[in-house]
């Protein structure tokens, strides 16, 4: 990781390059903060390395168990679709569409009856 990722470079005294300390910050506080920043950056790098190692280990376990990326995607899609179907929004939409379908069917039935009656009267 290069220092450009952390904003302005800091000199050995902890002062931001280009001049003065930020307002309300002593040189000692700035140096302490720089030391803390370096420690946090090191911890972040360590955590990234641990995460990569864990991801590799998980991939190896999945490979040994015969879990392919395709089967994982299929399982995730199945689980996601099930969650959608169980959601209140889906259930409400399904009820509304069902009611709309019933109303439409009733309307067409009534319209068909009215048309039949009209043709019957024409004879």
* Helix ranges restricted to H, the chain: 27-65, 69-86, 88-122
Q: Residue 10: name the closest of 24, 36, 30, 40 by CA.
A: 30
* CA–CA gap between residue 20 and residue 104 (Å, rounded): 75
The pLDDT score that the predictor gives to residue 3 is 47
The pLDDT score that the predictor gives to residue 121 is 81
With contact defined as beta carbons under 8 Å apart, do 81 and 46 qualify?
A: no
The pLDDT score that the predictor gives to residue 114 is 85
Q: Where are the domains of the chain?
A: 1-67, 69-123
Can you name the residues that pair with 10 across neighbouring β-strands? 16
* CA–CA gap between residue 48 and residue 56 (Å, rounded): 12
Distances (CA, A) of 90 to 76, 83, 94, 97, 101: 18, 10, 6, 10, 16
The pLDDT score that the predictor gives to residue 13 is 46
The pLDDT score that the predictor gives to residue 71 is 87
**Ranges of residues in the chain whose predicted pLDDT is under 50:** 1-4, 12-13, 18
């Amino acid at each position: 990781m290069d220092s450009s990722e952390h904003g302005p470079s800091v000199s050995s005294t902890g002062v931001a390059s280009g001049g003065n300390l930020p307002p309300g910050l002593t040189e000692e506080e700035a140096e302490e903060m720089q030391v803390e920043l370096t420690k946090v950056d090191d911890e972040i790098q360590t955590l990234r390395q641990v995460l990569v190692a864990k991801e590799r280990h998980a991939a190896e376990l999945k490979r040994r168990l015969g879990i392919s990326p395709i089967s994982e995607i299929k399982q995730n899609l199945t689980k996601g679709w099930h969650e959608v179907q169980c959601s209140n929004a889906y259930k409400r939409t399904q009820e509304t569409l069902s009611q709309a379908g019933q109303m439409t069917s009733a309307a067409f039935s009534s319209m068909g009856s009215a048309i039949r009656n009209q043709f019957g009267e024409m004879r």
